[in-house]
Structure 1
Amino acid sequence: MNWILLVVAGLFEVGFAFCLGKAKDAAGLVATYWYLGFLLCLAISMFLLVKATQELPIGTAYAVWTGIGAVGTVLVGIFFFKEPADFWRLFFLAILIASIIGLKAVTP
């Protein structure tokens, strides 16, 4: 159950990065809504991370949480913000995904 909480926390980390990206391109009330979305996603992500680390080792949990956030944010950048998807970005993204899976595999 704690691994599920950690994955969901990582997805909310992607959510707050997405909201920041959208807020950057918005103005006025629309930007305010994106910043509120950022704060909501941030609060949920942190709450779930805290819950997950009550049972999982903090080093592993934090690394997996940030890894999910990093992978998800790069993918959001590619698909929603038209960032480049060249070979080296995808290569290192694959290594990051393999590292996250490896940490999960070696953690009791």
Structure 2
Amino acid sequence: MAWFYLLMAGLCEIGWVLGLKISQETSTRLLGVVMAVVFIGLSGFLLWLAQREIPIGISYAVWTSIGAAGAFLMGVIFFGETASLGRYLGVLLIIVGVVTLKLAR
């Protein structure tokens, strides 16, 4: 169950970053701020639940990597941000680094 909590915490991490982006527009400022606050609270709570069984170094690395990779992809897909081979490679390196942390004992 701890890994499920961690996955959900990482997805909520994407949600609060998107909320901050949405809040940049005057017409959606309140929605974006509320979205960011709700998702950051959920993300933190779910991370806390996950850390009862998963070591802090692993849980934090997984949490932030899901957030970073997810925010990058959301920016490319929904906000027209620049995507290049180098940027995709950077995200892949983040993921490979986290997997390596998990597998190394």
Aligned mates of 1:17, 1:80 — CA distance in 2: 13
- The C-alpha deviation readout for 1:6-36, integer Å capped at 9, x for no partner, is 0110000000001111111x215x3111100
Which residue number corresponds to residue 27 of structure 1?
A: 26
Query: What SS does the corresponding residue of 2:83 show, helix, strand or coil?
Result: coil
Check whether the contact 2:12–2:43 (CA below 8 A) recurs between aligned residues: yes
Percentage of matched positions with identical amino acids: 35
The letter for the 2-side match of 1:86 is: S
Question: Which residue in the other structure is 1:54 paired with?
Answer: 52
CA distance in 2, matches of 1:23, 1:61: 28
Partner of 2:4: 4
C-alpha RMSD of matched pairs (Å): 1.3
Alignment of structure 1 residues 41-80 onto 2, 5 Å? 41-80=39-78
- Aligned counterparts of 1:12 and 1:104: Cα–Cα separation in 2: 21
In the TM superposition, residue 95 of structure 1 has moved relative to its aligned partner by 1.2
Instruction: Check the 8 A contact 2:6/2:46 in 1, yes or no.
Output: yes
SS of 2:54's equivalent in the other structure is: coil
TM-score by length of 2: 0.92
Unpaired stretches in structure 2, ≥5 consecutive residues? none
Aligned residue number for residue 14 of structure 2 = 14
Distance 1:33 1:67 in 2: 25
Amino acid at match of 2:15: G
Paired residue total: 105
